Amino acid sequence: MSLLPGIFSGARHLLFPRLCCGCQRPMLPEEKLVCFICARQLSPTGFHHVPLNEAALRITGRFPMERATAFCYFAHGGLIQHLLHQIKYRRRADLAFELGAAMGTALAEAGFLKGIDALVPVPLHFRKEWKRGYNQSERIAAGVEKATGVPVMAHLLQRTRHTESQTTKTAAERALNVKDAFRVRRQAGFSGKHLLLLDDVLTTGATLEACATAILRDIPHSRVSIATAALASG
Ligand SMILES: [Zn+2]
């Protein structure tokens, strides 16, 4: 009996091959996010091995932070941009999960998750989440949880107001746009915990700063670290 699920998943693979998001060719069962050839174009940063990295330097000094990393470099026209576009606008929540799993594996191997008690995805406003069907940061966090066993606390933070898109704003406008846009919904049991804030892209860090500020203000003795799937040019 225990063979049956394997046989079914094998047959399913033959009948409905999953296509690589990068090159559209059928993927092998062991290929997860993209095929092995496309995976070479993902440009991993390796930041989680280096405490003083570009992601950490971009946000350091703005709020008390333990450590920060970004998994891949974001290049315009590159594969990670394509993946994030599919995730945000083409309902590919599965890709967000696999991206999170790949990221979680890399972070765990580097020891970056040592002492982290829980993963906290940056929340979307409920209207935006309803429109998209899911919160991409929460799906990335679910992938990290699957790969590492560190639990996701998806509803610890709440976005209390809808904010305009950050994409065309300057750094100062971005900071003002998201200031006080988040609150901690549930503090009980999180006092003294080390929380890893997760988001899809780090640009100026304004959103992450607003989230971290809410956590550090509302949860006594909490500590915050940061991880994003991609680092955009700030
Ligand atoms: Zn491919």
**Domains in the chain: boundaries:** 19-231
User: What pLDDT does residue 166 have?
Assistant: 72
Q: What is this structure's pTM?
A: 0.89
User: What pLDDT does residue 217 have?
Assistant: 94
Three-state DSSP class for 174? helix
Tell me: domain 19-231, CATH 3.40.50.2020, correct?
A: yes
| Spacing, Cα 41 to ligand 1 middle (Å) | 9
User: What pLDDT does residue 2 have?
Assistant: 56
- Distance from the Cα of residue 144 to its chain's centroid: 8
| Spacing, Cα 11 to ligand 1 middle (Å) | 22
User: What pLDDT does residue 175 have?
Assistant: 78
Neighbouring CB atoms inside 10 A of 66's CB total 15
User: What pLDDT does residue 167 have?
Assistant: 73
Phi then psi dihedrals of residue 217, to 5 deg: -75, -40
| Spacing, Cα 24 to ligand 1 middle (Å) | 6
User: What pLDDT does residue 215 have?
Assistant: 96
Q: Is 44:72 a contact under the CB 8 Å cutoff?
A: yes
| Spacing, Cα 172 to ligand 1 middle (Å) | 38
User: What pLDDT does residue 13 have?
Assistant: 62
Per the structure block, which two tokens stand in for 183? 């609150």
| Spacing, Cα 33 to ligand 1 middle (Å) | 9
**How far is the C-alpha of 190 from the C-alpha of 157, rounded, in Å?**
12
DSSP bridge partners of 184:
157
Phi then psi dihedrals of residue 206, to 5 deg: -60, -45
pLDDT means over runs of 10, the chain (234 residues): 58 74 91 90 93 95 95 93 94 94 96 98 91 95 98 93 75 80 88 97 94 96 98 86
Per the structure block, which two tokens stand in for 218? 């509302």
